[in-house]
């Protein structure tokens, strides 16, 4: 009386739709991870190039180190990794590897940035930011928005974010150098450690170099406009 064949056919078609969804989703995930990997490779190359340039110009003036000396893609790379962290299909072993590489690249970039500030005597324009993914940290989420907004406002500001609990020796070393407590979020600005939430205004007050960055950005914009007019 019951046409069992219909159930089998319906089941087979449903299984095909399901498998296709899994297959397509996997392709996209691989593509996204590949995207992150490509950016990481570019950043690594940028850092290598900057280090080489820095070594070559050791004896020369700071004027030779122009804009774009440091890699500009670390910020967008970080955003992609934060997004991927919350997506089940992307949160794989591959992702862990990419995250590890990202933190190491950040540290390398940070060291280069430090050498640059020491050599050229400029005011430091970087923030080390420690957050947590292990515990619920609402303030981490909020300060993340603040730092993203600041980075958008001051493109030369470098924010290095680190997952406090990530199993990476270099992060542990940073934590012990700056004696960062687990009371997150934590920001390290000009050698000082700040815990908890800070608004954009408060951070602008705390980091005077930000204002200079703004001035620099404006001047650059003005000169670009005038040169366009001259052309």
Sites of contact with other proteins (CB under 8 A):
1-2, 6-7, 9-11, 13-14, 17-18, 20-22, 24-25, 28-29, 32, 35, 80, 83, 87-89, 138, 141-142, 145-146, 148-149, 152, 199-200
**Cα separation values, 83 from 91, 117, 167, 179, Å:** 10, 31, 20, 29
All residues at 6 or more sequence positions from 119 whose CB lies less than 8 Å from its CB, including other chains: 62
| Least Cβ distance, residue 87 to other proteins (angstroms) | 6
3-state secondary structure at position 186: strand
Nearer CB in complex with other proteins: 5/63? 5
| Least Cβ distance, residue 94 to other proteins (angstroms) | 15
Q: How many CB atoms lie within 10 A of CB 29?
A: 19
| Least Cβ distance, residue 49 to other proteins (angstroms) | 25
| Least Cβ distance, residue 225 to other proteins (angstroms) | 20
164 close to 182: Cβ distance less than 8 angstroms: yes
Interhelix angle 138-153/74-85, nearest 10 degrees: 150
Nearer CB in complex with other proteins: 90/105? 90
- Which residues share a beta bridge with 127? 159
Nearer CB in complex with other proteins: 35/221? 35
Nearer CB in complex with other proteins: 118/135? 135
50 close to 69: Cβ distance less than 8 angstroms: yes
Q: Give the separation between CA 161 and CA 214, rounded to whole angstroms.
A: 22
Strands 186-189 and 192-195: antiparallel
- CA–chain centroid gap for 93, Å, is 19
| Least Cβ distance, residue 91 to other proteins (angstroms) | 11
Q: Which strand (E) or helix (H) includes residue 130?
A: strand 126-131
Closest alpha carbon to 147 in 123, 129, 132, 171? 129
Nearer CB in complex with other proteins: 20/190? 20
| Least Cβ distance, residue 125 to other proteins (angstroms) | 19
| Least Cβ distance, residue 198 to other proteins (angstroms) | 11
Nearer CB in complex with other proteins: 133/148? 148
Nearer CB in complex with other proteins: 34/64? 34
């Amino acid at each position: 009386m019951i046409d069992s064949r219909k159930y089998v056919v319906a089941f087979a078609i449903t299984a095909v739709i399901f498998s296709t969804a899994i297959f397509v989703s996997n392709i996209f995930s691989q593509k996204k991870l590949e995207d992150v990997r490509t950016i990481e490779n570019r950043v690594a190359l940028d850092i290598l190039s900057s280090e080489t340039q820095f070594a070559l110009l050791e004896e020369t003036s700071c004027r030779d180190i122009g804009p774009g000396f440091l890699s500009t893609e670390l910020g967008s790379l970080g955003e992609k990794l934060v997004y991927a962290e919350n997506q089940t299909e992307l949160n794989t072993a591959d992702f862990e590897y990419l995250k590890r590489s990202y933190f190491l690249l950040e540290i390398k970039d940070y060291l280069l940035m430090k050498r640059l500030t020491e050599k050229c005597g400029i005011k430091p324009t970087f923030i080390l930011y420690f957050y947590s993914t292990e515990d619920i940290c609402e303030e981490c989420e909020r300060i993340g928005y603040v730092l993203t907004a600041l980075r958008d406002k001051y493109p030369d500001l470098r924010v290095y974010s680190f997952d406090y609990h990530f199993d990476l020796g270099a992060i542990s070393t940073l934590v012990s150098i700056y004696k960062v407590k687990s009371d997150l979020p934590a920001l390290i600005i000009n050698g000082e450690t700040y815990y908890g939430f800070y608004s954009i205004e408060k951070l602008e007050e705390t980091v005077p170099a930000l204002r200079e960055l703004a001035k620099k950005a404006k001047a650059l914009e003005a000169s670009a406009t005038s040169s366009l007019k001259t052309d």
